[in-house]
Amino acid sequence: MLTRYLFPHRYKRLGLILAAVALVLGLLEMYDVVQLPHLLAWLPSPIGNAELPDVLNGEKVRANHDLYAVLLICGGLLSACSREKQEDEYIGRIRLESLLWAMYAYYALLLLAFLLVSGMPFFTVMMYAMFTPLLLFLARFHLVLLRSAQAALHEE
């Protein structure tokens, strides 16, 4: 399989770590389990009003949700788009099938969200929906790889 657009394999672990940390910290902070300092308070927002009602020294500041989103996207892409140790036609086929499966599942979930959720909760659903295709792809791809490796061990 032509893999010139994939990252080297060594970035896979870094991507998984970044994505996992961002996902866990983002969810913990979103549900007020932990409160971390505002790490992006210095970052301006040239388009729109990104300032949230969080207050630091009497000023409105940007919350950490942007940082977690950037880390989750970068980590997820590094992990999803890194070569495997043995990149072959079978891995390429699994990668393509997992991507297609993730798109089908994502749009099925999105259709359900449009039909079942409205009002302000819909914006929360859309916030989660931004990351769903990437996370579905990662879950499906690694699950299929794990199953195929276990099947190969049982055959031997």
pLDDT 10s digits, 9-46: 999 999 999 999 999 998 898 887 887 777 766 666 65
Residue given tokens 């060594």 in the structure block: 10
69: left (phi over 0), alpha (psi -120 to 50) or beta: alpha
DSSP state letters, 85-142: TT--HHHHHHHHHHHHHHHHHHHHHHHHHHHH--SHHHHHHHHHHTTHHHHHHHHHHH
Once rounded to an integer, what is the mean pLDDT over residues 104-116?
A: 95
CA atoms of 148 and 98, how far apart (whole Å):
14
What confidence score (pLDDT) does residue 109 get? 95
| Residues 144 and 136: beta-carbon distance below 8 Å | no
pLDDT tens string 114-123: 999 998 888 8
The answer, yes or no, to whether residue 100 has pLDDT greater than 80, is yes
Share of the chain above pLDDT 90, in %: 56
Taking only the tens place, the pLDDT of each residue in 40-73 is 666 666 555 544 455 445 555 567 788 899 999 9
Instruction: Tell me how long the chain is.
Output: 156
Residue 23's nearest CA partner among 100, 117, 138 is: 138
pLDDT computed for residue 61 by the predictor: 56
pLDDT (mean) for 83-110: 94
**What are the structural domain ranges in the chain?**
1-84, 88-156
CA distance 54 to 60: 6
Amino acid 64: pLDDT: 79
Confidence of residue 4 (pLDDT cuts 50, 70, 90): confident
Predicted pLDDT of residue 9: 93
